Amino acid sequence: MMEKTIENNASERPWGLLSCIDLHECDGTIIRDAEKIRQFVAELCDLIKMRRFGKTQIIHFGKDERVAGYSMTQLIETSLISGHFANLTNAAYLDIFSCKPYDPQAAADFAKRFFKAVGMNLQVVKRR
């Protein structure tokens, strides 16, 4: 009897993959630099082979000091990359959602290196 796997049974393949990457104790100068964030998005998309659709949107906002910082969105042909960078705690919260397969661990490891984070949490959800 052949065992069913996600790889060999199209009906069981997820429709999309969501990676939630939480980075702790990032380099504060990097998360406060819009051009560095833009560079990160471009390099991440190259790494996970996602085609960007339009320009990366990066906006600084937040009257509440606890949440103040840049937020970023980047449409990709297969969905969206988003993130928020919290100035008070030097944390970054990134989400990558795509119906095209990619390696969540490679994306998370790259993000940790790029933002020089001390700690990282990665959660991966298969969307059906």
**What's 86's domain CATH number?**
3.60.90.10
Q: Give the pLDDT of the chain (128 residues) as one tens digit per residue.
A: 333 333 444 556 778 999 999 999 999 999 999 999 999 999 999 999 999 999 999 999 888 888 899 999 999 999 999 999 999 999 999 999 999 999 999 999 999 999 999 999 999 999 98
| Domain of residue 58, residue span | 13-127
Q: How far apart are CA 115 and CA 87, in angstroms?
A: 13
Q: How many domains does the chain have?
A: 1
Query: What was the pLDDT predicted at 25?
Result: 98
pTM of the model: 0.87
Query: What was the pLDDT predicted at 67?
Result: 85
Helix axes 104-114, 34-47, angle to 10 degrees: 150
- C-alpha distance from residue 107 to each of 30, 60, 101, 113 (Å): 18, 24, 12, 10
Phi then psi dihedrals of residue 43, to 5 deg: -70, -40
